[in-house]
Structure 1
Amino acid sequence: MTDMSTTPAGEYEAQLGDYFALLKPRVMQLVVFTAVVGMLAAPVSVHPIVGFASILFVAIGAGASGALNMWWDADIDAIMRRTQNRPIPSGRVQPKEALAIGVALSGLSVMMLGLAANLLAAGMLLFTILFYAVFYSMWLKRATPQNIVIGGAAGAFPPVIGWIIATGSFSIEAWLMFALIFMWTPPHFWALALFMRNDYDDAKVPMLTVTHGRRATRRHILGYTVLLVIVAVGTGFTAIGGPIYLVTSAILNGMFLLGAIRIWQRDEDDSEADNFQVERKFFRLSLWYLFLHFGAILVEATLRSYGLGGWA
């Protein structure tokens, strides 16, 4: 929980960029991209103005979640090297400001998405914000080593919201996109945790690397990667897949599985000597992995709109 004592003393007049950083713009980019893909992959077209406005409000909702997360986690962000320069622990933004911004943007984004698109999309956005800010940030993150597994669902909802913006309903295709992000999240974050373990140790966050050790974490990465491969490649044979997606997925998943196997085979005695280069490479690959999968879904959707894509 946020502790005012962790915020450096001293006067500082926050700049616009400080408030923007509070919204986690890098995470927002992924949210926007996957939501756009979910909307465009749907079998129902959306008016460009409605689509733009809807995605804008989804982005604002994602930013609100980021602000609430930073408000709550300011105490551990001040301890971890990776997060010490965030707006609150660095003293550029005060905790009360972050809380106010998060709450205000949450209400604004949900209300406006309901007006721009439909109430189901707005409800899903509200659920996503609450899931990330309350269920994950305030409870799971500090309570269980499975925090990132369950909490990863928050980052997997945007394509579902995008699909609902277009169709006003759920479908198996939307949940396949959800599953793709959900299964990708644990290997992605556990690889990061392997070479950032001291941060989680110092902050007393029960990441799997802290509670069960690096060897168990590597086994979990391999296990989840195998499940991810099944979901990702299998999606290629569905209505949102197609030849381009399937080829892209086959190549990416071959590389990803090989990387997970190399992590699993790692010798603990060599961990410090090679500076976790295997884990770093796997983590960088994971960033491209998700982007290219959703990019392929978008390409297939675009081709289908011209009667060229998919398996038809």
Structure 2
Amino acid sequence: MTPHPSPTTALARPRFAPFSFPLTGVVPPVCTPLTPDREVDVPSLLRLIDHLVEGGVHGLFVLGSTSEVAYLTDRQRKLVVESAVGHVGGRLPVLAGVIDMTTPRVLDHVREVTAAGADAVVATAPFYARTHPAEIARHYRLIAAASPVPVIAYDLPAGVHTKLPADVILGLAAEGVLAGLKDSSGDLAAFREVVVGARIRPDIRDFSVLTGSELIVDAALAIGADGAVPGLANVDPHGYVRLDRLYRSGDLESARAEQERLCGLFGMVTVGDPGRMGGSSSALGAFKAALHLRGVIDCPATAEPQVPLSPEEVEGVGKFLAGAGLL
């Protein structure tokens, strides 16, 4: 991405990574396999990465929401990034989440993940305290000034309780502060505003707009998205890569059919009983149970205090896999 000078800030601009922007295709947010005592299971993580690479994905996003980043210690975060970068060996770009409550804490993570070799960093807005759009913009400018690699904004209103305004994202893209956006809001209209703005504004170049919503990848591509960051791609990377390829080749009917198959598979996130667990326990537990059933990871444990799936609920995950042709 070519940075653009801006009179609004004197902060230094980042040095950009060797892989090209815009980043396109399927970039799964990689699950973090855990041992029964909730340590990072590195051998399972490396097998999962091989599973994704063999599925044809175009990049990897570690330390995202599907990675259970909020539950990992700093030591575990570092281990995940070092393991992933070392195993990939430059074959694919590795994006690393630097998600935390405040700018100083995020800057600490930026130093750690870039020292470990991450090719880009992914950051939400600050959270816990309410922030003004001007403060969100300053947050990203400070991250970009500290980061030797591109910065991608992560729009996650369900977890951060702040919807990133399109005008803020586009303004930061024009400044050269942001190299991309991962939008997990599910707000297709707001997503479209960013896609269109990035396309028509002459002061924005090589800006990646990626959807994080598993169920609308075909729709996002139709309005101009560069790609997708779907958590379900851990379970079925081939499916999402196939969907991306079919859409880009112009076979829209087959792409629609593939998206609908994946929508059916996504139903696994509802197997957990809402009377005894939250949606995160159900969804992440289902993804990990599916990976365990498929022989990719050794243990389906999720981080504490998430509630594990029951044997009957795991059986339900298996039925979704069988229905999608994955067992």
TM-score by length of 1: 0.31
TM-score by length of 2: 0.30
Higher fraction of strand: 2
Higher fraction of helix: 1
